[in-house]
Amino acid sequence: DAGVIQSPRHEVTEMGQEVTLRCKPISGHDYLFWYRQTMMRGLELLIYFNNNVPIDDSGMPEDRFSAKMPNASFSTLKIQPSEPRDSAVYFCATSAALGTEAFFGQGTRLTVV
């Protein structure tokens, strides 16, 4: 397995534009997590899914953020409209079960200007 695959690796967009981040989990992993990493706030859990169902979205900062997992092999995190304070590295991670090790993608570095 190629591991968790995220795209794009880098995204630069103008304020107000819609941004969509993508994640392909490891096959067979039932849990998928979206994290945001900044210098100020560290790694923040935004949302996680179990078997494609959102379980905890309490970390989603605002209604501008939304996440979907239409099937077991694909998830998206969308920001609409984007703002400069959304600039961060966004990570997708997956695990086979709760409490087990998480496997991270390489992240998407988002810059909103």
Partner 1 sequence: SQQGEEDPQALSIQEGENATMNCSYKTSINNLQWYRQNSGRGLVHLILIRSNEREKHSGRLRVTLDTSKKSSSLLITASRAADTASYFCATWGNNRLAFGKGNQVVVIP
Interface residues with partner 1 (CB under 8 A)?
Answer: 4, 33, 35, 42-43, 45, 48, 55-56, 91, 93, 95, 98-107
**Nearer CB in complex with partner 1: 57/76:** 57
Q: Are strands 65-71 and 74-79 parallel, antiparallel or unpaired?
A: antiparallel
Q: Least Å distance between CB 42 and partner 1?
A: 4
The identity of residue 13, as a single letter, is T
Contact between residue 35 and residue 90 where contact means Cβ atoms under 8 Å apart: yes
The nearer residue to partner 1, 42 or 70, going by C-beta atoms, is 42
Q: How far is the CB of 51 from partner 1 (least distance, A)?
A: 14
Assess contact for 32 and 93: CB atoms under 8 A.
Answer: yes
Q: What backbone phi and psi angles, to 5 degrees, belong to 86?
A: -80, -10
Whole-number minimum distance, CB 8 to partner 1, in Å? 14
